[in-house]
Structure 1
């Protein structure tokens, strides 16, 4: 927390829980007509007027999901919102409200929590989401952030994981592996700094992959694009744990197989080159890295013409019958069983 060491800071004990909540939420203005009552009562009051309500929750723990030695608190607040919005986008829905709960230790002054909430509010503003509630409590284990997100969709628009059909095209937005390679870069610079604090981090020219790790963006724009071009995904999931893991989720829950083509996996040149610097295989970074928060989805073959010229969507394979297996077809044409080696929440891998 050195960013506040030389400044006049305010201890959280000076405000108390309700004073802290009042301080952090005093400037909230609700944007959605469905947000009838937000912060300030026993519960929020929401009106979704005939839509299907979508709900998701995610928790981020210091030392498990983030390292404050290289994660600015403003970025962390922003990311905490984005990773939750992504789950609503993965249902082909529109996120509208969030609640934010934090557990915080006495090592954090008020100014640190204000930084965190600045990032939260920037994300809410950018993605047109209302913050309507939450909780604050003391923590002895470092910083804990729990976010719940609400959204909506018409019943016929919701995209599940278990509805992919044989012959469907496998598609993904954006590019993959950048967040993982960005994390390797940050971890390397942290180790160098710990060995010699006089050496400044060498991150020049690596902005894109650093942002992929520290400041991810949920792909609400892809949901809106698909709607605009008249494409309803037959299944969808967000890429939080690595491409391989997410494809296997769709295949397992839909009881189908797949062919994924290595040469079709979108990888940014900076991700590719930096992975090579670390003696990492860029394809494995994309397959198993995680935290890209892109959307992986399947569509009917008849939608190919609507998608083929979309620069931010790649067609990377197709769905097969279950007995054909889940296959990765290498650049040289060799067929390998697709395996997930991504994040395991209970092994910390």
Structure 2
């Protein structure tokens, strides 16, 4: 946890957002015409909802790794082809993202930028991104189980600024980076130094929050150990795959699903290369050239999805790929619950 600790009020936050919206593309929680909360571009800071919330689509999909992304434009020339790399990124500030989204971005940072390769498109957008998170003092909804998976509900690091409501319209502020420190310095009249009483209030809120969403059926360490030694229960996999309609919602709403396809759209030699989010649960995902499909059955793809989350991610990154955000359950039309899979392994 950052040692730079400040505090600010609701009123100060609104003034801060008003200052920031002119400096970058500022996205924050706002209500639509139906009263639902979405992450939207801020034009009027007074309309921002200052509370922890969990958007259905993870923040990484909004700004870093979207559903469809144009990568290259190509044009036929007399001697071959002219290529133009597309940079659609811009300076962006995300306000109000929950810890599960912050952790999801940190996972993608490793996947796209800190392994044997570095993804140009992801990293150019990431460099221009500032993250102001809000610690979850209560679960945003009943599907959240981040504390059971060791990923929240209040972050230890990875943010530029983190705000946590400690009561009486006061937010405890952790400064986590040079970007965050600059925002605080540039708007110093809106912040106050945190006192020992403020720190005690923050620690009390943090300790209470860490207990609220714990699912006692889940033992993460035991589940990951068992996954590495034993196969998934075949009966359970068959039951899940029989219910699954292969819509891909679990993958598309998961902040740590990173599978994509690359397609060219061309006419008369001119066109665009695009990166398109893919889903391992879809029937055509594993299909190869010549039409061969090594995983044609739905139960095989279902087993693959859970092995990816709990075994292969652990091997590659040292931890499970499930953050406990519960979005897969939120989005699933037949309510397949990933907690049941983890619980069966626990």
Bin of the TM-score, shorter chain as denominator length = under 0.3
| Normalised TM-score (structure 1) | 0.26
Instruction: Give the structure-2-normalised TM-score.
Output: 0.27
